[in-house]
Chains A and B, each alone.
Chain A
Amino acid sequence: GAVVSQHPSWVICKSGTSVKIECRSLDFQATTMFWYRQFPKQSLMLMATSNEGSKATYEQGVEKDKFLINHASLTLSTLTVTSAHPEDSSFYICSAWDRGFSYEQYFGPGTRLTVT
């Protein structure tokens, strides 16, 4: 099946700094990528939908200025957490939609963000 990678798998940063998370579709082109946030023992919450070449669509309650999403190519989307604070510590998961297979999303392995 299709493979989606995320980098880094774990990042620790100091409060006030920014951190970038990459999501790549390795063997297919993803016109749409999604970013989720998952707190421990909780569900995945959709943060935003990222379409290649256009602005991301954010879910209600998600600060677009804090969580910057860029989908510059059909295989790469990035999530930048700006001015990170300890409450931003979470597990971030991306998924990519293979347009060749309707409604089939492939999930990355996730990135653990720890803000100290």
Chain B
Amino acid sequence: AQTVTQSQPEMSVQEAETVTLSCTYDTSESDYYLFWYKQPPSRQMILVIRQEAYKQQNATENRFSVNFQKAAKSFSLKISDSQLGDAAMYFCAYCNTGNQFYFGTGTSLTVIP
């Protein structure tokens, strides 16, 4: 199985500031998808952003953007203008061609008012 590594178990950011969450993955496949999911205390998984591996352009969704470095197998998430509602666990996920998801260990994000 593919491995996904999130090296930051906890991160904090001041409200309105920018924070970057790191993610690396290991795969021998060339075709795959990468995702960032948010899990608030309710435990409901919420899709934040997705990136197709064949696309060179980094995905952007409002205040959320990624830095996808395919050669380095790196997929970081940048949250701009952080809001209190952004506080949650963030999981990086790798999806193979069989549509199986493999999740990283998560980063707990705290937003400081």
Contacts and interface: CB of A to CB of B under 8 A. Distances in A.
Contacts of B104: 43
B22 interface: no
Interface in A15-42: 32, 34, 38, 41-42
Given A42-B105, A46-B102, A60 B44 contact: no
Interface of A: 32, 34, 38, 41-46, 49, 59-60, 91, 93, 95, 97, 103-105, 107, 109-110
30 contacts: A34-B100, A38-B43, A42-B105, A43-B91, A43-B104, A43-B106, A44-B45, A44-B91, A44-B101, A46-B102, A49-B98, A49-B100, A59-B1, A60-B1, A91-B43, A93-B45, A95-B45, A95-B101, A97-B99, A103-B33, A103-B50, A103-B95, A103-B99, A104-B47, A104-B50, A105-B95, A105-B99, A105-B101, A109-B42, A109-B43
